C-alpha cells in the first residue's frame, strides 16, 4: 500500500517549498499519494490540491479578522479532507496562524504531523515553540539559531538547512548583469506576494522612485508582479504614479540578478535577494493597531531576515513610520553614489549563504517525513488500511 501524505501550505513561499518537498518525496517513494492545500507549484509537482489559499493571505493580526469567516471555512474543509484521505502524516509548512491551530486539532485526533519551516519562535518568544512541541511529531528547522529554542521546548527538532539554497544556485548569480543594461542601472521594486501588501507598499515605493529618477537619469525602474497578485491593482498604482515602469512577471530572482539594488517587502524575498547578492532596502507597513501589537510581541531588534541571520543591521530597514518616500530614496541614492558602502553590503550578503547550512534541505526534509510515516522502523504507526 502507498503512503498518504497531506501537505499544507498557505502562501506563495510555502507553495514553492511544498513543491520542492513533493518532488523529493516522489523521488524517494514513487507510489506516495500527495494531497493538500497550496498553489500552482505544488500542483505542478504532483500534489492533488483541495484548495488554493495563496491568494487569500492577510497581513497582520487585525487584518486577518476581516477574513475570519473565509479562513474558518478553509480550516474546516482542510481538516475534513485530511480525515477523508486518511493521511499517514500531515506536513505543515509555515503559515503559523492557520497551521498551529490545525496541528493542535490533528494531535487531538491522533494524526501525526511534521512542521516544516516552523513558526519563528526566536522572534515571537518561546510560547510558540511550546505550542508546536506539544503537537508536532517532528519539527524541521531551516535556521540553525532556532534549533535550541525548539529543543528547549521539548520538540523533536532537526536542522535541515534552508530550502532556498537549492532554489538559488550561487553559480546563477551574475555580477556584471546587475550594474548596467543598455547604459542603465535597474532599480527593482518587490512589493510582495499579497494584494494587501501591494496596496500598502507600492504607492510609497513609486513615490520614492520618482525622487530617485530626479537625481539619476541612468536608473530604470522595474517592478516584480507576483503571480498571486491581481495584475490590475498593480497597473492602477503604476498608472496613478505617472511613472514609466517595466513589469516583470517571471521569477522574481531573475529580476534580482539584473538589479543594482532593490526595494523589497520584508519576507522571503529579502532572503532571496541576499542569496543572489542584491543590495536592498527592506520595507514594510501594516495598520497602526497591528504594529502596536507586534511591537509588544516581537523580541528581535530587526525584522528583515538578512539582518536577523547576520546578527546586525547589514542592510537598511524602513518599517512603519520610517517607510517614507524620502527615506527610501535616501537609502537607494546612497547605493548609487557610495561605491565603498555598496561593496560592503554585497560582501555582507555573500556571507549569509554560509550561515544557512548545506544545500539539500528539501531532500533531508522528505527523508524526515518518510521516517515519521514509517514510525522509525519501516512500519506506519497507527496506519489505517484502505
Q: How far apart are CA 22 and CA 44, in angstroms?
A: 10
- The answer to whether residue 264 sits within a structural domain is yes
Query: What percent of the chain lies above the pLDDT cut of 90?
Result: 73
Q: Are residues 123 and 188 in the same domain?
A: no
pTM above 0.85, yes or no: no
- The answer to whether residue 385 sits within a structural domain is no
Q: How far apart are CA 331 and CA 228, in angstroms?
A: 28
Q: How far apart are CA 26 and CA 215, in angstroms?
A: 53
Lowest mean pLDDT among 8-22, 174-188, 286-300, 341-355: 286-300
Domain that holds residue 144: 4-163+360-373
pLDDT beyond 50 at 174: no
Averaged pLDDT for residues 142-148: 90
Checking phi first, is residue 65 left (phi over 0); if not, alpha (psi -120 to 50) or beta? Answer: alpha
Beta bridge partners of residue 184, listed in sequence order:
181
Give the CA radius of gyration of the chain: 21
Pick from 287, 231, 385, 313: nearest CA to 60 = 287
Beta bridge partners of residue 185, listed in sequence order:
219
Pick from 264, 268, 282, 165: nearest CA to 222 = 264
- The answer to whether residue 384 sits within a structural domain is no
Q: Are residues 134 and 220 in the same domain?
A: no
Q: Are residues 181 and 89 in the same domain?
A: no
Q: What is the DSSP letter of 282?
A: E
Sheet with 246-248: list strands edge to edge: 246-248, 219-224, 185-190, 259-265, 280-284, 317-319
Pick from 198, 266, 186, 259: nearest CA to 226 = 198
Q: Are residues 151 and 184 in the same domain?
A: no
pLDDT beyond 80 at 179: no
Q: Are residues 129 and 159 in the same domain?
A: yes
pLDDT beyond 50 at 380: no
Task: Please say whether the beta carbons of 42 and 7 come within 8 A.
Answer: yes
Q: Are residues 256 and 177 in the same domain?
A: yes
Q: Are residues 125 and 178 in the same domain?
A: no
Residue 325 has, within 13 A of its CA and on its CB side, a CA count of 13
Per-residue pLDDT band at 383 (split at 50, 70, 90): very low
Averaged pLDDT for residues 329-343: 96
- The answer to whether residue 348 sits within a structural domain is yes
Checking phi first, is residue 137 left (phi over 0); if not, alpha (psi -120 to 50) or beta? Answer: alpha
- The answer to whether residue 379 sits within a structural domain is no
**In sequence order, which residues have a C-beta less than 8 Å from that of residue 217 and are 6 or more positions away?**
none
Q: Are residues 244 and 325 in the same domain?
A: yes
Q: Mean pLDDT over all residues of the chain?
A: 88
Q: Are residues 205 and 338 in the same domain?
A: yes
Q: What is the pLDDT of residue 385?
A: 36
Q: Are residues 102 and 217 in the same domain?
A: no
Task: Report pLDDT digits (tens) over 33-82.
Answer: 999 999 999 999 999 999 999 876 555 555 555 567 888 999 999 999 99
Q: Based on the structure, what is the number of domains in the chain?
A: 2
Query: What percent of the chain lies above the pLDDT cut of 70?
Result: 85
Task: Report pLDDT digits (tens) over 232-266.
Answer: 999 999 999 999 999 999 889 999 999 999 999 99
pLDDT beyond 60 at 120: yes
Averaged pLDDT for residues 353-363: 92
Q: What is the pLDDT of residue 302?
A: 76
Q: Are residues 235 and 344 in the same domain?
A: yes
- The answer to whether residue 200 sits within a structural domain is yes
**Residue 207's CATH number:** 3.40.50.2000
Amino acid at each position: 500500500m502507498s503512503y498518504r501524505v497531506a501537505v499544507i501550505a498557505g502562501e506563495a513561499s510555502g507553495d514553492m517549498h511544498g513543491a520542492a518537498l513533493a518532488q523529493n518525496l516522489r523521488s524517494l517513494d514513487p507510489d506516495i499519494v500527495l494531497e493538500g492545500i497550496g498553489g500552482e507549484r505544488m500542483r505542478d509537482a504532483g500534489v492533488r490540491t483541495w484548495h488554493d489559499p495563496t491568494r487569500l493571505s492577510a497581513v497582520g493580526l487585525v487584518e486577518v479578522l476581516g477574513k475570519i469567516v473565509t479562513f474558518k471555512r478553509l480550516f474546516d474543509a482542510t481538516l475534513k479532507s485530511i480525515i477523508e484521505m486518511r493521511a499517514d502524516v500531515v506536513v505543515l509548512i509555515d503559515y503559523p496562524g492557520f497551521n498551529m491551530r490545525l496541528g493542535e486539532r490533528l494531535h487531538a485526533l491522533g494524526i501525526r504531523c511534521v512542521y516544516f519551516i516552523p513558526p519563528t519562535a526566536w522572534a515571537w518568544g518561546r510560547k510558540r515553540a511550546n505550542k508546536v512541541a506539544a503537537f508536532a511529531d517532528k519539527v524541521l528547522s531551516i535556521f540553525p539559531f532556532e534549533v535550541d529554542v525548539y529543543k528547549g521546548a521539548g520538540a523533536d527538532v532537526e536542522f535541515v538547512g534552508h530550502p532556498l539554497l537549492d532554489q538559488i544556485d550561487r553559480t546563477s548569480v551574475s555580477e556584471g548583469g546587475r550594474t548596467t543594461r543598455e547604459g542603465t542601472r535597474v532599480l527593482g521594486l518587490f512589493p510582495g506576494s499579497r494584494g494587501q501588501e501591494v496596496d500598502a507598499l507600492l504607492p510609497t515605493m513609486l513615490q520614492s522612485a520618482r525622487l530617485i529618477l530626479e537625481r539619476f537619469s541612468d536608473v530604470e525602474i522595474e517592478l516584480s508582479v507576483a503571480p498571486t497578485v491581481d495584475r490590475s491593482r498593480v497597473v492602477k498604482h503604476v498608472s496613478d504614479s505617472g511613472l514609466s515602469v517595466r513589469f516583470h512577471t517571471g521569477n522574481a530572482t531573475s529580476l534580482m540578478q539584473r538589479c543594482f539594488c532593490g526595494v523589497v517587502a520584508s519576507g522571503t524575498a529579502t532572503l532571496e535577494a541576499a542569496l543572489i547578492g542584491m543590495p536592498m532596502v527592506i520595507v514594510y507597513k501594516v495598520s497602526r493597531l497591528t504594529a502596536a501589537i507586534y511591537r509588544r510581541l516581537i523580541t528581535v531588534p530587526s525584522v528583515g531576515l538578512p539582518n536577523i541571520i547576520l546578527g546586525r543591521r547589514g542592510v537598511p530597514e524602513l518599517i512603519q513610520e520610517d517607510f517614507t518616500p524620502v527615506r527610501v530614496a535616501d537609502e537607494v541614492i546612497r547605493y548609487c553614489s557610495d561605491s565603498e558602502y555598496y561593496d560592503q553590503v554585497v560582501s555582507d550578503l555573500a556571507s549569509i549563504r554560509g550561515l544557512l547550512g548545506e544545500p539539500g534541505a528539501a531532500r533531508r526534509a522528505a527523508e524526515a517525513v518518510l521516517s515519521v510515516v514509517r514510525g522509525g522502523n519501516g512500519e506506519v504507526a497507527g496506519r489505517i488500511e484502505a
